[in-house]
Amino acid sequence: MRFAAGGSVRSVHRRRAVGIAVVTALLGGATACGTKAQAEAKPRTPAEAVARAAERTTDVASLRYRVSGTVPEHGKMRVEAAMTVRPTAMRMEVTGLGASEDKPVNVRFADGVLYAEGDPAAIGAPADKEWFSVGPAVWGRGGAENNTYRVLPSALEASPLAQSTLLTGAKKVREVGTETVDGSGTTHYRGTVTTKSLRDAQTAARDKATRELRTTSLDQFMMLGIEETLTMDLWVDDDGRAKRYRLRGETHILKEGRMVDTGPLDLTVTLLDVDRPVTVETPPAEDTVDIAERVDGAGEG
């Protein structure tokens, strides 16, 4: 099965134009239909620049991205990935997942099913199978139960577009300086985020579109399992889009009725090739084994 996006970018942009115009006008910025002078207007404050970058995520149809850093309970990880937004689909190669630290593991998501390469024999499946499948599943959303059996760390179950908006919930954002990221000029911003600051930002939203963005940010924060404070760096390119972000904080999980520390999160994500065509191919059904059928079925027996 194959899913592709990128060819209909112009129509996606038109559908989003009205909502984007409203949000940007309230932020004091330019719209996609504004004049060249408006589009090039520099944000007046770091908070405004961060808010504009968050708003720009709503018109992205597809992208490629890269992830590196330390993930709680897994350690060092590297990811090369690509995704489409409508419909939601992704492909990624994850190094550091599973028993092998050096061999990349292929993961796919499309049509409500998550696929991952592995050894199905470990759960009693035929040895000739090469992929696990989990469905119905959710990828790229918030902290609700995603029915993915923890195939992926929760930090990688989120859309990077959604994660990049977290800094809109900071009480204060400061400009660090200008830097080159992947060949592009960027402005570097930093701030700290907490559950309370994200809820306050959500409450303070002046329109439906902004409220939805900040609700998404809150969901993403909860999904990360941050114990208290998340430190976030965001690099915004000259087009006003998020180019890179870094998330740092201590994490925890609820285990046997109490909160248990699970170690530090330190994740850097670079957004690449925005709105370029992306194709996601899923493995043939005969090469996969359904985790739910094996795991849940064994429990019932």
Q: Residues 213, 238: one domain?
A: yes
Instruction: Read off the pTM.
Output: 0.82
Q: Residues 122, 259: one domain?
A: no
Alpha-helical (H) ranges within 140-253 are 160-163, 195-204, 208-224
Q: Does 168 or 119 have the greater pLDDT score?
A: 168
The whole-number average pLDDT for the span 149-155 is 81
Highest mean pLDDT, choosing among 84-98, 127-141, 236-250: 236-250
Residue 226 lies in domain: 2-61+160-272
Q: Residues 13, 101: one domain?
A: no
Q: Which residues contact 159 (CB under 8 A, 6 or more apart)?
A: 83, 85, 88, 139, 140, 141
pLDDT at position 80: 97
Count CB neighbours of 120 within 10 A.
22
Q: Residues 263, 285: one domain?
A: no
Q: Residues 146, 8: one domain?
A: no
% of the chain residues with pLDDT over 70: 77
Count CB neighbours of 52 within 10 A.
21
Domain total for the chain?
2
Domain membership of residue 68 (yes or no) is no
Q: Residues 194, 109: one domain?
A: no
pLDDT at position 18: 35
Domain membership of residue 71 (yes or no) is no
Domain membership of residue 73 (yes or no) is no
pLDDT tens for each residue of 102-129: 788 999 999 999 999 877 666 566 667 7
Domain membership of residue 191 (yes or no) is yes
Q: Residues 52, 139: one domain?
A: no
Give the pLDDT band (50/70/90) at residue 147: low
Q: Residues 182, 266: one domain?
A: yes
Gyration radius of the chain over CA positions: 20
Q: Residues 147, 166: one domain?
A: no
User: Residue 294: phi, psi to the nearest 5?
Assistant: -80, -50
DSSP 116-129: EES-GGGGT--TT-
Domain membership of residue 72 (yes or no) is no
